[in-house]
């Protein structure tokens, strides 16, 4: 079939296999070039800095920061990786989800490079998936001839719903303000037209449901399960991702339901450290830069803000996507050169968080971004902001608008 993007209200409902595979390969090349000096994974493993990961688990491995985390560990350090995600495969008449194609492409490139990998598909919130993952870790380690001890656990789940494994109750998250209604300017990235987006305040039940889905409870359950199964190394590290952003977005983000869930994620990091820190495990929250994801396109004000941010950061030579951020997280934070290794050597802010949103939140960057947002009009939107770049990144996340891909070609949706 010939696959063209189908976008409705800033939501893309399909994906392209060849485009997704091309994006994965590009990220792999970046990780190889920057973390491994272009070496193949075997050589990268031999030359990896002391303390760098040999066995990595990525929970939420198929898109965005989770995918980048897996790519950087595998092709930057030659690590064996186990990934967990929940994706919909292609059929004869319909493409699969972007993450399904990303996983296939990653596994294909890993096989060529001789990397040990295993990808599990299913509900990461369930107890059954945690048990299946422990089994997969042991099997993969045995096949690779390495200890079944995970050095790094990345928690990067992004799901709108979660079923509590103990009660069987399903919870749904919402993106809403707390306390009062919200109204703000946003843009249709496909046309550049301004619209006003609003949301009514969340109920207490909606707040608690969002915390259940997007908070830190499941991260804690994962670490408990891995610890009980004795598959964590003596100096294991675990990282979960969050976003803070500028004050102009706080009403709908930091001070809204999402922000409340992210506060619980930070609570979970403290709990994990208190509970397991004595055995050598250390947990961090990494505050990351704004990037275009399948979700960010529908959060009020975010498309407008990110379009202005991209324009300014590109002008200053500071722009980063997911893979650039994660490479910097590994290289400059988690696995710094010898002499600064160990948990105490990881640079953090006053709250104990890793900050790789530092470039986005620079005062000079934010001042120009706010000025652009104040002055941009529909007549100047494509010159004053990078709405075109936002649109490109959004389409690219689904395998579209990727250089070198023939979108007029007849493709098999089940083949990358």
- The residues annotated as belonging to the active site are 253
Residues 6 or more apart whose CB falls under 8 angstroms from that of 103 comprise 61, 62, 83, 85, 87, 119, 121
Nearest-angstrom CA–CA distance, 205 and 354: 31
Nearest-angstrom CA–CA distance, 151 and 48: 14
Q: At what angle do helices 64-71 and 322-329 cross, to 10 degrees?
A: 50
CB of 25 within 8 A of CB of 62?
A: no
300: nearest Cα among 404, 130, 180, 183: 183
Question: CB-based burial of residue 336 (10 Å sphere; 0-12 exposed, 13-18 middle, 19+ buried)?
Answer: middle
Rounded to the nearest 10°, the torsion over CA 227, 230, 232, 238 is -10
Residues 6 or more apart whose CB falls under 8 angstroms from that of 28 comprise 71, 75, 106, 109
Q: At what angle do helices 17-35 and 322-329 cross, to 10 degrees?
A: 30
Nearest-angstrom CA–CA distance, 204 and 282: 32
240: nearest Cα among 256, 210, 212, 261: 261
SS3 content of the chain, % helix, strand, coil (to 5): 45, 15, 40
Between the CA of residue 277 and those of 158, 238, 267, 271, 334, what are the distances in Å? 26, 11, 15, 9, 16
């Amino acid at each position: 079939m010939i696959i063209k993007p189908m976008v409705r209200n800033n939501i893309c409902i399909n994906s392209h296999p060849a485009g997704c595979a091309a994006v994965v390969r590009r990220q792999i090349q970046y990780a190889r070039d920057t973390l491994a000096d272009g070496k193949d994974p075997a050589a990268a493993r031999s030359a990896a800095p002391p303390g760098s990961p040999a066995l990595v688990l990525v929970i939420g491995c198929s898109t965005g920061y989770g995918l980048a985390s897996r790519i950087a560990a595998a092709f930057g350090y030659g690590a064996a990786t186990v990934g967990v995600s929940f994706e919909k495969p292609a059929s004869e008449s319909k493409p699969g989800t972007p993450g399904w194609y990303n996983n296939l492409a990653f596994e294909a490139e890993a096989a060529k490079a001789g990397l040990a990998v295993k990808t599990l598909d299913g509900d990461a919130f369930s107890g059954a998936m945690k048990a299946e993952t422990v089994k997969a870790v042991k099997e993969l380690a045995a096949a690779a001839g390495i200890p079944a001890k995970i050095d790094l656990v990345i928690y990067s789940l992004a799901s709108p719903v979660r079923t509590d494994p103990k009660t069987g109750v399903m919870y749904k998250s919402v993106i809403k303000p707390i306390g009062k209604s919200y109204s703000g300017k946003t843009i249709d990235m496909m046309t550049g037209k301004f619209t006003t987006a609003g949301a009514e305040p969340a109920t207490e039940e909606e707040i608690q449901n969002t915390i259940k889905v997007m908070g830190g409870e499941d991260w804690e359950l994962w670490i408990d399960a891995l610890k009980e199964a004795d598959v964590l190394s003596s100096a294991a590290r675990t990282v979960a991702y969050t976003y803070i952003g500028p004050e102009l977005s706080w009403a709908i983000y930091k001070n809204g339901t999402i922000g409340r869930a992210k506060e619980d994620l930070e609570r979970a990091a403290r709990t994990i450290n208190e509970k397991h820190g004595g055995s050598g495990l250390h947990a961090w929250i990494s505050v990351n830069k704004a990037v275009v994801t399948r979700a960010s396109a529908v959060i009020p004000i975010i498309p407008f803000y990110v379009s202005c941010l991209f324009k300014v950061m590109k002008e200053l030579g500071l722009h980063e996507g997911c893979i650039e951020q994660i490479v910097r997280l590994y290289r400059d934070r988690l696995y710094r050169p010898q002499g600064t290794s160990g948990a105490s050597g990881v640079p953090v802010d006053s709250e104990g968080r890793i900050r790789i949103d530092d470039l986005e939140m620079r005062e000079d960057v934010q001042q120009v971004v706010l000025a652009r947002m104040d002055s941009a009009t529909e007549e100047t939107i494509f010159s004053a902001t990078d709405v075109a770049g936002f649109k490109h990144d959004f389409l690219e996340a689904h395998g579209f608008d990727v250089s070198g891909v023939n979108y007029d070609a007849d493709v098999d949706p089940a083949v990358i």
